[in-house]
Amino acid sequence: MHRYALKIEYHGAPFVGWQRQVGLQSVQGAIEDALAKLEPRVHNIAAAGRTDAGVHGLGQVAHCDMERAWDPFRLSEALNYHLKPKPVAITACAAVADDFHARFSAQERRYLFRILSRRAPATHQEGLVWQVKYDLDVAAMQKAADYLIGKHDFTTFRSTICQAESPVKTLDHLSISQVQTLGGTEYHFDVRARSFLHNQVRSFVGSLERVGTGSWTPQDMRSALEAQDRAACGPVCPPQGLYLAHVVYPSDPFA
């Protein structure tokens, strides 16, 4: 068997999420169906992260095993042909060693969350951002976010259906920037860690938005973290603004 790493971009709206589910449309299922057109058999690919329904991919990474030795460019082109018209694209493909694993070899996952601030309804950005009708205080949100960086028990920001063995994780980076675009003011949340709990990023952003409006103070975020109680979390924000943006490996397979 020959192993290949795939860099994948997708629009999450039509899918129940990354993970294959019987009778439902998933990103994993779409790619495995395309692989079966090239080598007719059951395929089971593994990904760096299992994104939820409505969450998008900019730099998702998965690996597949093929019986035939494919030229990576031709494999990506063939997969993209069979993925049409689904909003999924293979943006890079590389031959990798047999011990490469898209999930277990990853050293860092980077997520981007986008909030669009404007009163008029979003048109071009609909389904790609969380839209609010008010400005947010970036400095206050950043001060609150700084309390989250480091190794903590993140029970407050963990979904009740999370299957992780422990709520203790290390958050390496959380920065917030304000960006002026043609469509309006956007707030970008750059979140990085080796791994995340279920709904952790959306829980962070939902609580930080409360700080940005003035409903919470930065100290309220610290109190919520220290409570280690899901009830202390702010509203969980919608999935539309969340992107799995980049995955870091010891050696970049696509370099």
Question: Tens digit of pLDDT for each residue in 17-69?
Answer: 999 999 999 999 999 999 999 999 999 999 999 999 999 999 999 999 999 99
* Separation of first and last alpha carbons in the chain: 23
Tokens encoding 101: 């694993």
pLDDT at 149: 98
Domain match, 97 and 46 both: yes
Helices (H), the chain: 27-38, 72-83, 138-146, 200-213, 218-227
Tokens encoding 156: 């407050």
- Identify whether 153 is part of a domain: yes
The structure tokens 């279920």 sit at 198
Gyration radius from the chain CA atoms: 19
- Structural domain for 119, as ranges: 110-246
Domain match, 41 and 90 both: yes
Residue 163 phi, psi dihedral angles, 5° rounding? -100, 5
Q: What is the pTM of this model?
A: 0.95
Q: Rounded to the nearest 5 degrees, what angle is found at the Cα of 217, between the Cα atoms of 154 and 220?
A: 35
- Preceding peptide of 167 cis, ω within 30°: no
pLDDT band at 107 (very low <50, low <70, confident <90, very high): very high
- Identify whether 147 is part of a domain: yes
Domain match, 75 and 135 both: no
Domain match, 118 and 230 both: yes
Mind telling me the catalytic residues? 52
- Identify whether 230 is part of a domain: yes
